[in-house]
A and B are shown apart, each in its own frame.
Chain A
């Protein structure tokens, strides 16, 4: 693979952003949306250390300089990466992006098309489904501090996909989206828009990967999930960018009455990766599960911010984020449960467990509750500790060397969340990535 030097006019260049926006002249609503993003981006400062939503984050090393959009990959490069994207054999559809360019458009089975399922690249959907997009695209407020990054995402919005599963349609196979970074110093802004109608069912697997393990890139991704009444949405998002990449991921989910939503966020890649995951429950009976799993090594910083908003009562949400830390890695978990004044009979839980496998690793926890209704069951728990000496001793008495025993116990610690992925092939693929971290640490 050839390494292309970063283009001189990067993502901070107004003329370049504006020239790309001009390509959407025919879809003026989309051009306006991009333009608004640019203005918001310009008006906001970078986060600084006194910013409470960035507490514990290394804000000093934040920089957006030196990243640029990259040209489309060559045909052999694209073919190679498409081949490497076939991670899930029973996918309902596969879409592949390389450096922000869609290199494989999904083809859906005719019966799905007949049922009205839409799975298309964002760029195509802007033209073919403007009404659907205007109703749902980037409609969620940014609540967890990533406003400036979300605005830049909006300003450069083009890559990504739209999935719409209409009312009453249940799709069992997962929709798979694989996004690659290839060019050194590339900036990518992948977007996922998932709309599940009433009683619809959809599984989505998002893989964010790097062509080379030490890739330098800037990735600002966003995913918006709209789950209608009684909808069932499950999403697996795997962040495995290159080790010199800065990643910012802003995910927003809103669930209506009786919606069942679950998400698993797995993180292994990037030098710094921030995840902002907001879920808003708008209807009673909804059940939301948020899972996070990561192995942080070297000098990685995984910054996880979650918000569970119970705007309606009689709903349930549960969160479990597990991190294993090696080397000088750092994880920050900041989670907040907000229960609105009238959201009575809410059940909301939050658990963060950190396993320190190195004396130089650091785990920060900020579990929070803001409860304004009284008839609720809410709790949070956070623990940080080491592998238990008794368990280690037990394994060692059976002849297992210390290093292997530690690794086994750490992997056992992570299995609880891996079990939530719910798809054998995807689980195996994530398990492999997590394991790989123990050997390159």
Chain B
């Protein structure tokens, strides 16, 4: 009997609080590509956006590849079969152009974002903000001094139209259309997202931020992000995602490409808190040239199924790649996350630290790839993945793949699985903490060294989120 109580208490303590994003506003869209996906849908999107012919062709080619590729269920979860591509709406927009002052944002959209604390947070510490509502950005603003330095922060439509000499060269090059079925889908129907260019030597001290929101039921969000950091520049980019709880599953499938040219540094931070019926299938990859650094900091708390393995192609000597990942899987959730490090030059180093927490019937999976080919020397990789299992039927899997050749290369990989020890909980309860508080503290301790890597505002938010989830749970 005591045991049953305990597990229920544990369950409750870890319930994630998603109420913050769980609200929606009326839908009245000017542009609606309808339900389902066909060549006509793709043409409609290209036409609405007034795109050049080559982009339309790129989209059509991608659609063909998407349709021809099988679902990757020979290694991935069969839950992918439950995505009903024919029931999804691929493009919805109110015909808005991104506006530059908050007052111009339509009232209902403004309310949405104000409830989420944007642009309140912008005023505090951001260098630029973009907010996306379903398919298109509704608000985009950047501090003037950055604009003067030549920093570009816009959507893909504007990026490809106004600055083709910068963006076209890299668009779809880091992640080719046919990289996987979902990158092909994104390439066919992408809209919204951020195209960012940081000129040579410019160091953007404050982070740029994008906020993604799905508001309409059955809507698929397919934003596309391309960040180019020119030689010696530095930038931090943050994204956050929410969606209200709908009756039916929703799809989010983004493609994010990062290019860090010689000596540049890009840090990309994600806090993903989609509601628990969103399929979140995202392809993220960065290229690091000589002495450059690409760092992915990835936190997955929401969604029904997340499949996301941020990667870095270390293309130049001494390039450095890093993935720090936190995943929390609760009942009905599967966080299938990981990292890929492709070493393609001498003296490159990479580091992966992944921590996952499985609660209730939640399942977390780590998939990793580390590749060092034979032509290289002095490459190093360090991988650590730790899993924490809270309840009796929580599940975790670890599937790394490591391939090493060449001279003086070394890799080390370590993984461990554990639970919160009864002694720890006992010790804290003895000192007057409730079981839930003790559990929450133990879990926060488990991810603490990673949470510290997030910018302050985010790490506070993260800690609070985890605390909320652990409330009433136990161990």
Contacts and interface: CB of A to CB of B under 8 A. Distances in A.
Whether A and B are associated in the same complex: the answer reads yes
Contact of A379 (B395, B399, B414): B414
A384 B402 contact: yes
B8 interface: no
B49 interface: no
Given A377-B418, A379-B414, A381-B415, A366 B402 contact: yes
B390 interface: yes
Contacts of B394: 374
Interface stretch (B177-185, B283-291, B302-310, B404-412): B404-412
Contacts of A373: 389, 392
A382 to B, nearest CB: 4
A262 to B, nearest CB: 24
A145 interface: no
Given A359-B407, A374-B389, A374-B392, A366 B417 contact: no
B416 interface: yes
B54 interface: no
B355 to A, nearest CB: 14
B69 interface: no
Contacts of B401: 55-56, 364-366
Contacts of B387: 369, 371
Interface in A383-407: 383-386
A385 B382 CA distance: 12
B350 interface: no
Contact of B400 (A50, A361, A363, A368): A368
CB-CB nearest 9 A-B residue pairs: A385-B410, A374-B389, A369-B398, A379-B416, A365-B402, A378-B417, A362-B405, A359-B407, A384-B404
A375 B419 contact: yes
Contacts of A380: 398, 413-415
Interface string B399-439: 11111111111111111111100000000000000000000
B391 A359 contact: no
Nearest to B392: A374
Interface string A334-360: 000000010010000000001010011
A371 B411 contact: no
Contacts of B389: 371, 373-374, 376
Which of B75, B358, B401 has the most chain A CB atoms closer than 10 A to its own CB? B401
Contact of B417 (A371, A382, A386): A371
A372 interface: yes
B215 interface: no
B403 A341 contact: no
A376 to B, nearest CB: 6
A364 B402 contact: yes
A90 interface: no
A386 to B, nearest CB: 6
Nearest to B7: A374
Nearest to A349: B416
B contact residues, range: 35 or more
Nearest to A55: B401
A383 B412 contact: yes
Interface in A104-144: none
Contacts of A360: 374, 405
Given A365-B413, A383-B410, A359 B405 contact: yes
A309 B400 CA distance: 18
Nearest to A339: B417
A414 B381 CA distance: 24
A371 B393 CA distance: 9
Nearest to A344: B392
A356 B402 CA distance: 14
A252 B374 CA distance: 35
A370 interface: yes
Given A367-B415, A374-B419, 19 more contacts: A52-B74, A359-B374, A359-B406, A362-B404, A365-B400, A365-B401, A366-B401, A366-B402, A367-B398, A368-B399, A370-B395, A373-B392, A379-B414, A380-B398, A380-B413, A384-B409, A384-B410, A385-B412, A386-B409
A15 B303 CA distance: 58
Contact of A381 (B404, B405, B414): B414
Interface of B: 74-75, 358, 374, 377, 387, 389-419
* Most chain B Cβ neighbours within 10 Å, of A52, A344, A359, A366: A359
A373 to B, nearest CB: 7
Given A55-B401, A369-B415, A341 B408 contact: no
B397 A371 contact: yes
A386 B394 CA distance: 38
Interface in A205-242: none
A341 B393 contact: yes
Given A367-B413, A369-B396, A362 B374 contact: yes
17 contacts: A359-B405, A360-B374, A361-B405, A362-B374, A363-B404, A364-B401, A364-B402, A364-B404, A368-B399, A368-B400, A369-B417, A374-B390, A376-B389, A376-B418, A377-B418, A379-B417, A381-B414
A381 B413 contact: yes
Given A52-B74, A52-B75, A375-B419, A368 B398 contact: yes
A316 B396 CA distance: 19
Contacts of A377: 417-418
A363 B409 CA distance: 11
A375 B390 CA distance: 9
B473 to A, nearest CB: 13
Given A360-B374, A377-B418, A366 B400 contact: yes
A356 B358 CA distance: 37
A341 B394 CA distance: 9
Contacts of A383: 410-413
Nearest to A354: B404
B176 to A, nearest CB: 19
A369 B404 contact: no
Contact of A372 (B393, B402, B404): B393
Contacts of A386: 407-410
Contacts of A356: 404-405, 409
